[in-house]
Structure 1
């Protein structure tokens, strides 16, 4: 019996959650949720996630949405996987996990939408500017093999997916440090498994 149910769509951030679940190695059930009526807009799914977004997970009676939260939750719920540092050593782990959610993703999204923040207004947004955000990220991924030090953690799932997608879609500058970090993440067996599964789901959806 599956420990976790993943509600996802292969054309979404659900790929991050699936990668995280493959890293954990616990049994999970995958439920593909199409966009729009009958899927993310359906009352049944909105009861699970009022935002009508994927991914979401159910673990027993617990429901978790927001991809960074899903990564952090699963790391704590399945400690044997070793994807979260000991509580006393989580400063960098928390810092960069939530940096990616609170600064990197909105900065990259605004840049992709060609909405540039002026220097005068940079204090009004959490990420400041796109350039400043990328500079901070570059320093972080250059400091060691992983975002929070010498070992892979759930923060690398979230940050690594953001960097890999940004490079693929041109929304993150192809700096050498980003490319090297992305290659390290993409070499992981769990990443390759999750990608193959999501690609198969995407192919099935487009064939329907």
Structure 2
């Protein structure tokens, strides 16, 4: 069974988050760029991800999809990179909390805003929406990134990578309002060598696809 890491992505997708994670891990990996449209929906790729979406990862014959799950998997598969608190570390709870806060409430609330979905101002209706309201989500996130340098104790983790990537992307494209606390937080992350390498790789692939 191959232990090769195979990364399925497109340079203008959530795969950019996984690319950053792979660069932080430092393990060798192979990239398979999957084009939007027929290539991503054909049977060969749907055998990897039935939804016909990127990113996806194959490692030891196992396929992992969903960006937060891939980040969590890589953090545990390569513990020497120090991207997740240990199982006995009390900060493991905060790590899980904020990693999946990003994958759940943040992603859902921001996507709904982009689609023009408005949650009715009715307690019964809001109770059906797991995140409550976009304002509540953004306030909670502001509190988290203001409270400490990183989300899970005093060191950078996959939770910071995932949440930070969403903040960077959201503030760049206007789906998340700019707040001083967010900008100070992402400034601590954006210049990490792995983040710079990942951006350079994906930007180059994006330029190459535009020229093709």
Assess same fold via TM > 0.5: yes
Q: Please provide the CA RMSD for this pair.
A: 1.2
From 127, 130, 155, give the equivalent of 2:131.
Answer: 127
**Stretch deviating more after TM superposition (140-149 or 195-204):** 140-149
Say if 2:56 and 2:65, in contact at 8 Å, map to a contact too: yes
Query: Unaligned stretches of 5+ in structure 2?
Result: none
What is the DSSP-based 3-state SS (H/G/I as helix, E as strand, rest coil) of the residue aligned with 1:35?
A: coil
Displacement after TM superposition at 1:112 (Å): 1.6
1:86 aligns with 2:75: no
Aligned equivalent of 1:138: 142
Aligned equivalent of 2:210: 206
Say if 2:3 and 2:60, in contact at 8 Å, map to a contact too: no
Say if 2:10 and 2:33, in contact at 8 Å, map to a contact too: yes
Displacement after TM superposition at 1:149 (Å): 2.1
**Stretch deviating more after TM superposition (126-135 or 147-156):** 147-156
Aligned equivalent of 1:26: 27
Displacement after TM superposition at 1:2 (Å): 7.6
Query: Unaligned stretches of 5+ in structure 1?
Result: none
1:115 aligns with 2:133: no
Aligned equivalent of 2:64: 64
Displacement after TM superposition at 1:119 (Å): 2.6
For residues 148 and 8 of structure 1, the distance between their equivalents in structure 2, rounded to whole angstroms, comes to 28
How many residues in Structure 1 have an aligned counterpart in Structure 2?
207
Residues 166-181 of structure 1 aligned to structure 2 (within 5 Å): 166-181=170-185
Say if 1:107 and 1:129, in contact at 8 Å, map to a contact too: yes
Provide the TM-score with structure 2 as the length reference. 0.95
1:154 aligns with 2:164: no
Provide the TM-score with structure 1 as the length reference. 0.97
